[in-house]
């Protein structure tokens, strides 16, 4: 654990993520205004003491919308990565344990999915669905499991012939018990790191979809659709683009730094340092 606290970048990532999570969880208490309240007397007001991040084209408080937008972005990240990780663990475990034609079939499916640009695949699927936060989370999750599958499969390949696995087989343990009690717990290190990094990617995808109008729909606030509002007034309402852009930047940076820190902590080579 001391490795983590001696790494200033990883510690910075943890602080960033904890801060963003705190703001998202307590948004209803922190936000000074209703994020959807329209004030026609305060349209496109620059940052001031009453509206510290200014207002948008409908007079809504940007700071309040940023706080509630954090809830949406992080929810999408956690749920989408959870779906992708679950699928990847199941398929990777099956491929790595049984090998043979089962492994070949799953890996060809992985190759097919990887050959299609993920963002364009998501765009194509979303275009046929009603834009909503739940559809976005499911679609991102269903199109992002390939990396986890390959990681789990590789770990299973390396552990399959270890003594503790052979001993379990000799004692008559079922395949299910061997996979979930012996192999999988020893294969989760790269999965944890990949999942943390995957949250950053999911936040970026959600923001991109919302920016294009295919993600979270108005009046629900998300960082992506705040950016969309900002592009119409970018010449004179700079705050509408600056603040959500910085929020996305720091969130992605925080998760990337945290992922690197976890990699150092969980790497067996660093255990005795």
Q: How many other C-beta atoms lie within 10 A of the C-beta of residue 208?
A: 17
Top-ranked range on mean pLDDT: pick from 36-45, 103-112, 186-195, 209-218: 103-112
Rounded to an integer, what distance in angstroms lies between the CA atom of residue 169 and that of residue 10? 40
Q: Which token pair is 265?
A: 């902590």
Helix (H) or strand (E) holding 273: none
Helix (H) or strand (E) holding 88: helix 62-98
Query: Is residue 97 within 8 Å of 175, Cβ to Cβ?
Result: yes
Query: φ and ψ at 26, to 5 degrees?
Result: -100, 20
Cross-strand pairs, 61: 55
User: Region 231-244: what's the mean pLDDT?
Assistant: 87
Rounded to an integer, what distance in angstroms lies between the CA atom of residue 270 and that of residue 273? 5
Tokens 């994020």 label which residue? 35
Query: According to the CATH classification, is domain 2-270 in 3.40.50.720?
Result: no
Check whether 129 has a pLDDT greater than 60: yes
Rounded to an integer, what distance in angstroms lies between the CA atom of residue 4 and that of residue 14? 10
pLDDT in tens, 171-225: 877 778 888 887 888 888 888 888 988 998 888 888 888 888 777 777 888 888 8
């Amino acid at each position: 654990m001391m490795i983590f606290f001696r790494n200033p970048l990883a510690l910075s990532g943890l602080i960033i993520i904890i801060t963003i999570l705190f703001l998202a969880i307590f948004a209803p208490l922190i936000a000074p205004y209703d994020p959807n309240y329209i004030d026609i007397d305060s349209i496109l007001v620059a940052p001031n003491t009453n509206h510290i991040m200014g207002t948008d084209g409908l007079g809504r408080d940007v700071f309040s919308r940023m706080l509630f937008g954090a809830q949406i972005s992080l929810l999408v990240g956690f749920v989408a990565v959870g779906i992708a990780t679950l699928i990847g663990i199941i398929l990777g475990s099956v491929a790595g344990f049984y090998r043979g034609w089962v492994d070949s079939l799953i890996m060809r499916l992985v190759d097919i999915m990887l050959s299609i640009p993920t963002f364009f695949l998501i765009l194509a699927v979303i275009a046929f669905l009603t834009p909503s936060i739940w559809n976005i989370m499911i679609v991102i999750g269903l199109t992002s499991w390939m990396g986890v599958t390959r990681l789990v499969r590789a770990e299973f390949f390396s552990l399959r012939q270890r003594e503790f696995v052979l001993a379990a087989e000799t004692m008559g343990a079922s395949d299910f018990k061997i996979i979930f009690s012996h192999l999988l717990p020893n294969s989760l290190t790269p999965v944890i790191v990949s999942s943390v990094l995957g949250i950053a990617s999911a936040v970026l995808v959600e923001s991109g979809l919302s920016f294009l109008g295919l993600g979270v729909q108005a009046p629900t606030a998300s960082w992506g659709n705040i950016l969309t509002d900002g592009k119409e007034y970018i010449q004179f309402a700079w705050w509408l683009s600056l603040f959500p852009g910085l929020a996305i930047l720091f969130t992605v940076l925080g998760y990337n730094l945290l992922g690197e820190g976890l990699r150092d902590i969980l790497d067996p080579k660093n255990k005795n340092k």
